[in-house]
Structure 1
C-alpha cells in the first residue's frame, strides 16, 4: 500500500518523456565524448596480412564473390570500419519487394495485436463447438512468425552490411525469446526490427532499454504478471543473470528481489483501451503502443540494488537501474566474453576479455568500439578459419556461396534445414539462447545432417525459387560453385585431403556436394 506522504511527494514530481532515453552521465574519470565518433580506419589487418576471404568468413555470414568485390574496392581495414559503422541496409530490389510486401513490414505491431486479440477471444467463445476459429488464429500466428524468420534470413543472405546482420542475430540470441509462448510469434518480427536491429551496432544501454520496454520480452519472461504484493521475479533474475552481469557475478538474491520490485507495473496492454487509473496516479501512467506502465500495480517503496539506493518514483526507477546495470564491470566482462566466444574462440583468453571490457566501460557501452578492440587483437587474427560454425552460419554461408547473384523467393527449405540441425530461429525454449561453442554442434548426427544439406544444395534446390502460390521460375538457377572462378580459387586454399577429394568428383553436382560438406566449410 502507498502511504500518503510518499505518494504526495511522488505526484508532485515533474515527469517528462519517461520513455525517452535518459541523459547518460559519464562514468567517473572517463571522457565518453572521445568515443562518440568513429575512429579513423587503422592498418592493423592489412599489416598483419589478413586474407580477405578469411576476414569475410568471420565478419560476414560467409564469403562470396559479391562481398569479396565489396572488400577489394576499399581494402580489409576500411571494409571492417565500414561494417562497424555503416548503417543503411540496401538489398536487391527483388528481395526488398518481398520484405516490403510482408504484413510485419506494413502493419504496426499494436494494430496487428489488437486485431489478433479479437480473433483469439472469438475463438475462445466458440471453443467446444467450432474449432475453426482457433485453427485460423494459430495459422495466422505461424504465418507472421514465418514472415519474421524469412525477413531475417533474406537480410543475412543479401545485405551488404553483413556485420550488422550478424550482430542483430547475436543480440536476438543473447536476448532470446521463444516463439512458442502466448502470441509471441506475432511480436518477434517487431522485436527484431525495432528493439534489436537499430541498436545492434550502437550503445548497449540503449539496446538493453529497447528490450526491457518491448512487449515480447515482458510477456516471455512473465513481467506482465509482476505487481506490488504479487511479485514475479522471472524477468528480474534473467535481466541480471543472462542479459547484463552474468551468473555468479556478485549480485544477490536480495538484488533480484529488489529489481523485481522496480519492475512492478511494467507490462503490456493488448487492447486499445487504457485502464481506469486513480486520479492521483493518472499523470504518471505511461502507454506506448502495447507497452504499459500501470502505477496502480507498482511498488513505490525505496529499493536498494547493488548497494545503490533507488528512490521510489515510478518508471524513472527503471531508467536508473538500466544505467546501473549497463555500467557494471561484471556486465562489461560478461558481454565481452560472449562476443569473444561468438567471434574468436570457444575459450577466449582472459587478456582479450579484459581489454574488451575496458573499452566497453570507457566508451559507456559502445558496441562497435568494443568489437574493434577484439577485431584488431592478435588473438582474433590468429583464430581466423578455426571457429566452428553453428547450423545457421553453416546454412547461410552455403547459400551465399551456392546462389551468389540469384535471389531466392522461398526460405522454406532453409527453415527446414535449420529445424533438422536443431537451431530453428527463435526456437530455443530457455532464455539463455543457443550455445556458440563447437561441442554444442559437432556431434556425428549433426555432421550427417549437414552432409544431407550439402547434397540437397549440390544439384540445385528448385523450392528456393518456388513461391507459396506454387509458381516457379521457368528455369531455377543451379548452384554456381563448380563453375565459379572465385570458389575454384577458394578451393586451392583448402587442405590437401579436401583438394584430392574434389579432384575425384565426376560431375559438377558431386563437386558442389564435396565442397559444401568439406571440413573447411564447417569453420569460419
Structure 2
C-alpha cells in the first residue's frame, strides 16, 4: 500500500490522526482483519520427540516478522534473512542459534567504530574510577569557591559523558547486533538488577557493570549473573553495601537482594533473614586505593581471607564472623565463601525460580501469563539449575508464547528501537543521541530508574495519554528521517533477497546530511507489506488517505497496532 494521490481534506486528515492517537492511548488491542491463533489457556505440550523451539517449522513472512518483533528489538531485513537462512529448520533453528550466541559477534564496522572511539572502551574501569575519584578530591580542595565550582562542573560533565557513552553503546548493540536476543535480555537483566547512574560516581561505573557483570551472563546461569552483580562496585555503591560493616550494619542491599533480585516480596523470608544476610554481606565493598597497594591493616589471622579483584574488595576486618542462619538453615562457610554459600541458597530456592521466571514471562509474553506457563518455566529453571537459555527455550516452545506474538504492549525502549530499526534498517546512524533524548522524554532513560525495582513491565505503566502524545511526536520525527541527526547514515551491505527484502537505507555513505533526513520509504518495505493485512480497517483507511511519505510514516508508526509487538 502506498500513499494515495487523492488528498483528503485537512479536517478529515486531522480527524484520522486524532482518532488513531485516541485508539493507541486507550490501549486498544491490535485488531486484525486476518484470523489469529486463539490464546491458549495452557502451555502447549511438546510433540513426542520434539525439544525446545524446534517445533516451529517453517513460518510465513508475517509470523517471521512478529517473532522477530518479540525476540529482538524489532524486525529488520537482516534479521529476517538470518532466520530464512535456516531453511527447512526454520524458526526453531534460528531461536536455538540465538540462545547459544556468545558476546563477541561482530557489529557493522561503522557501529563498532563509534564504540571503539569511546573512553569507556579504551580505559580500564579501575583507572577510570581512580582518576575520577582523584579529580573530585582535587576539585574540592581548590582554594576558592569559583575554582571549586568550575572544577566540579567539569568533573560532572565528564561523568555524564561516560554515562552517555554507556547508553550509546547499549543502543548501538540493540540496533545492529547479529545476536539481538542477547542484547534484549541484557536490557531485561539490567532492569532486574537495576542501578541508578545518577547516584554518586555511578556514571563512571555503569558501563562496566553492564559490560562485565550483566551482558556476559544474560543467557547463562542465573547464579553466575547474581554473583557477578554482587561483586560489582556499581551495585555495592548503589545499594550502600560499601558502608555495611560489623557493628555498623546496613540492611539495604540484603533486603533488595531478597525482595527484588531473588526470592520476591512473597518469597517466604523474614526480617530476621534480612538481618542475617546483611551480616553475611559485611566486608563486601569497594577499594579505591591504587592497584598494587598493600592491603589495609588487619589482624594477621584474617589476612588469608582478604580478596581484591579490581575495584571489588572483601575486607575481613569489616566482616561479622559470628554464626549465621539463613532461611532456616545455618551457614557453614567463612569469609567470602560464606557470601557464596548464601547466594547458592538464594539462587536455588523454589521461590526464586517462580519469581524470576514470572518476570521473564511478563517481559516475553505479556501482563497475564497463565499459571500453567509459569509452572512450566519455574520447572525448567529448577531442572537446569537456573539456565536462562533453557528457560527461554521452554518458553518459546509453548503455544501461549506463539499466541502472544503481536499482542504485547511495547514499553518506550522497545517502541523507539523498533521504530528506528524499521525506518533505517541496518544503515548505521552516526549518532544515537536523538534516541536517548526520546527515551528521556518517554520516562525510560537507560540507567535512569532511581528506585531499585527497575522500570515496570506492564502495559498500564506506559499506555497513558501523555505517553501516547509523546510517541506521536517521536513517530513524526522518525517518519521524517529526523533520527539521523547531523551526520550521515552508513548503509550496511544488503543480505540476499529472502522474501523479506531490505528497505532502502535512509542515506548512502556518501550522501549529504540533508538527504539522510529524507523520509524513509516505509510503505515499500517488506515488513510493512507483510503486516498491513493484519491492520484494522481504521488504520488502513487512514493510511490510504494521506498524501505524503512523511504523513504515511507518521500514521504507521503511531498506529495502535505498532504499539504492540
Q: Which TM-score applies when normalising by structure 2?
A: 0.83
Does the 8 Å CA contact 2:58/2:91 hold for their aligned counterparts? no
**1:271: how far off?**
2.2
2:55 corresponding residue in structure 1: 44
1:438 corresponding residue in structure 2: 459
Does the 8 Å CA contact 2:65/2:527 hold for their aligned counterparts? no
1:257 corresponding residue in structure 2: 275
Secondary structure of 1:267's counterpart equals strand
User: Does 393-402 or 273-282 show the bigger shift?
Assistant: 273-282
Matches within 5 A, 1:490-501: 490-501=531-542
Does the 8 Å CA contact 2:53/2:397 hold for their aligned counterparts? no
Q: Identify which of 135, 138, 145 aligns with 1:122.
A: 138
2:301 corresponding residue in structure 1: 280
Secondary structure of 1:111's counterpart equals helix
Residue 42 and residue 417 in structure 1: after superposition, are their counterparts in 2 closer, same or farther (change >3 A)?
Answer: closer
1:110 paired with 2:126, answer yes
Secondary structure of 1:116's counterpart equals helix
User: Does 392-401 or 303-312 show the bigger shift?
Assistant: 303-312
**1:474: how far off?**
6.4
1:55 paired with 2:67, answer yes
1: CA distance, partners of 2:409 / 2:57: 24
1:132-171, Cα deviation, whole Å (9 max, x unpaired) = 1101110010000000000000000001111101100000
1:425 paired with 2:446, answer yes
Q: Identify which of 277, 289, 292 aligns with 1:271.
A: 289
Residue 250 and residue 95 in structure 1: after superposition, are their counterparts in 2 closer, same or farther (change >3 A)?
Answer: same
1: CA distance, partners of 2:479 / 2:402: 31
1:293-349, Cα deviation, whole Å (9 max, x unpaired) = 011000011100001211361000011011101100000000000000001120111
Does the 8 Å CA contact 1:196/1:207 hold for their aligned counterparts? yes
Secondary structure of 1:287's counterpart equals strand
1:335 corresponding residue in structure 2: 356
Secondary structure of 1:46's counterpart equals coil
2:386 corresponding residue in structure 1: 365
1:208 paired with 2:226, answer yes
Does the 8 Å CA contact 1:389/1:523 hold for their aligned counterparts? yes
Matches within 5 A, 1:284-433: 284-311=305-332, 313-433=334-454
Residue 44 and residue 311 in structure 1: after superposition, are their counterparts in 2 closer, same or farther (change >3 A)?
Answer: same
Q: Which TM-score applies when normalising by structure 1?
A: 0.89
2: CA distance, partners of 1:462 / 1:387: 25
Secondary structure of 2:308's counterpart equals strand
Q: CA RMSD in A?
A: 1.8
User: Does 514-523 or 42-51 show the bigger shift?
Assistant: 42-51
2: CA distance, partners of 1:76 / 1:372: 12
User: Does 73-82 or 243-252 show the bigger shift?
Assistant: 73-82
User: Does 375-384 or 388-397 show the bigger shift?
Assistant: 375-384
1:476 paired with 2:516, answer yes
Residue 265 and residue 462 in structure 1: after superposition, are their counterparts in 2 closer, same or farther (change >3 A)?
Answer: closer
Secondary structure of 1:492's counterpart equals helix
1:17-69, Cα deviation, whole Å (9 max, x unpaired) = xxxxxxxxxxxxxxxxxxxxxx9765322389881111111111011222111
**1:284: how far off?**
1.4
Does the 8 Å CA contact 1:156/1:396 hold for their aligned counterparts? yes
Does the 8 Å CA contact 1:223/1:235 hold for their aligned counterparts? yes
2: CA distance, partners of 1:450 / 1:335: 30
**1:72: how far off?**
1.2
Secondary structure of 2:320's counterpart equals coil
1:508 corresponding residue in structure 2: 549
1: CA distance, partners of 2:282 / 2:426: 51
1: CA distance, partners of 2:413 / 2:173: 13
1:73 corresponding residue in structure 2: 85
Does the 8 Å CA contact 2:59/2:91 hold for their aligned counterparts? no
List alignment gaps of at least 5 residues for structure 1: 1-38
1:471-514, Cα deviation, whole Å (9 max, x unpaired) = 97464253231332442333233222211111111011111111
Secondary structure of 1:43's counterpart equals helix
**1:83: how far off?**
1.1
2:28 corresponding residue in structure 1: none
Does the 8 Å CA contact 1:344/1:387 hold for their aligned counterparts? yes
Matches within 5 A, 1:223-242: 223-242=241-260
1:519 paired with 2:534, answer no
Does the 8 Å CA contact 1:462/1:476 hold for their aligned counterparts? no
2: CA distance, partners of 1:462 / 1:359: 41
Q: Looking at both structures, which has the greater relative contact order when contacts are Cα pairs under 8 Å and sequence separation is at least 6?
A: 2
1:188 paired with 2:206, answer yes
**1:382: how far off?**
1.0
User: Does 96-105 or 477-486 show the bigger shift?
Assistant: 477-486
**1:225: how far off?**
0.4
**1:364: how far off?**
0.3
Does the 8 Å CA contact 2:321/2:335 hold for their aligned counterparts? yes
